[in-house]
Amino acid sequence: MSSDDESEGSEDARMKQLLSSWDDDNGSGDDSSSESEEEEEEEEEKKVGATKFDLGLQDNVLDHIVLAAPDFQDAMKEFENMTGIKPSVVGSLRGLGTKSARVGLDNNAYIELIAPDPKNSGPIGAALASQLEEGQLMPWHYAIRSSEVEAMKDDYVPNELGWQPDHISMFGASPDGTPKKWEMLYMYGHKIGGVVPFYIDWGHCDHPSATIPEVGALKSLVVRAPGGHKVHDLLSSVEGVTVEEGEPMLEFSFGSPEGTITFSADNPHGIKFPGFEEGDTGASGAPDKPEMIPTGGGGDKSDDDSDVQISDSDSD
């Protein structure tokens, strides 16, 4: 066995140990699950995951769109009432106070709903609650798939775009305990928040699109940014994204059993990890509070907390 294989093996073992010792913030919880909930969990176990390699996923295309709301249950009900499809609950990202659910689009893209977690308080959930008004469900950000996250972080983002990269490694575990790792790249300094995408590389993790219900086909994704902004060049080669000139705006439309649904937002805040508070949000320049989206690497989960850990790998 080579030194690289030994290092990778020891890292896997370390991650398994860390994940097995991760405490549940909810304690023992309520064991009196209803029969319907038990049946749903059994159905979830039957789902088979698939990696980006299994699915033949391409780079430089939309991976997912983030919808944000101040109340998770209200957002779930509103989305189901609007579309006729119930999103699949992913769970909570513990310590940060967020909860999420997903529903698929065509071409292995999906929508992710995020909101404060009522059972697990945290700074991110508190930020979402303060930034969104009651009843809102609005586009917040969007992710582009890329296998070049490392190269973009080291060269393209700082040297070509002149923005600050924030490279985040996420760690989770598959049902058999095998560690999973995926990468995300956020960019700051562009001053237009969620109009600029973040990038995600799922690595060898199962892609969420394989295990979630599909609502319908994406009909349009429109990104609007001031003329001359570098996001126009950034998105010029991304398939399926229409880029317009004007005040910052994010809008998308998709089909559903209830017809075409459109969500739109001016000056979307976008996801911002703790440590970046330079007021990089929309055209107003108002100070932003840190936010995070739970992007678990496995298939669908129940309402229990997701085993996810985060590593800021900018210094790698």
173-217 pLDDT tens trace: 666 677 788 899 999 999 999 999 999 999 888 899 989 999 999
Residue 64 in domain: yes
Please state the separation of Cα 33 from the chain's center in Å: 28
Q: Are 256 and 85 in contact (CB under 8 A)?
A: yes
Give the dihedral of Cα atoms 119, 295, 156, 190; nearest 10 deg.
-40
Number of H helices, E strands in the chain: 7, 14
Question: Does residue 107 sit within a domain?
Answer: yes
**28: which 2 tokens?**
């023992």
Average pLDDT, the chain: 77
The first and second tokens of residue 206, run together, are 């199962």
Residue 85 lies in a domain: yes
Position with higher pLDDT, 130 vs 9: 130
- Residue 300, CB-side half-sphere exposure with 13 Å CA sphere: 25
Q: How many residues does the chain have?
A: 316
pTM of the model: 0.76
Inter-CA distances, 47 with 50, 109, 156, 314, Å: 10, 18, 38, 35
Answer yes or no: is 13 within a domain. no
CB atoms within 10 A of CB 218: 19
Give the pLDDT confidence of 72-100 residue by residue, as tens digits.
Answer: 999 999 999 999 999 999 877 766 788 99
Q: What is the pLDDT of residue 9?
A: 54
Residue of higher predicted confidence among 32 and 147:
147
> Is position 154 within any domain?
yes
Tell me, what's the pLDDT at 223?
Answer: 98
Q: How far apart are CA 201 and CA 196, in angstroms?
A: 17
Q: Give the model's pLDDT for residue 296.
A: 35
Q: In a 3-state reduction of DSSP, which class is residue 221? A: strand
Whether 82 maps to a domain, the answer reads yes
Residues linked to residue 99 through DSSP beta bridges, in sequence order: 92, 115
Domain residue limits at 138 = 51-216+268-297
> How many domains, in total, are found in the chain?
1
Q: Domain of 204: which CATH number?
A: 3.10.180.10
What tokens were used for 116? Answer: 């404060």
Residue 249 lies in a domain: no
Residue 52: other Cβ atoms inside 10 A: 23
Six-digit token string for 42? 């059994």
Report, as an integer, the average pLDDT of 88-115: 89
Runs of H (alpha helix) within 214-280: 231-234
Q: Is 252 contained in some domain?
A: no
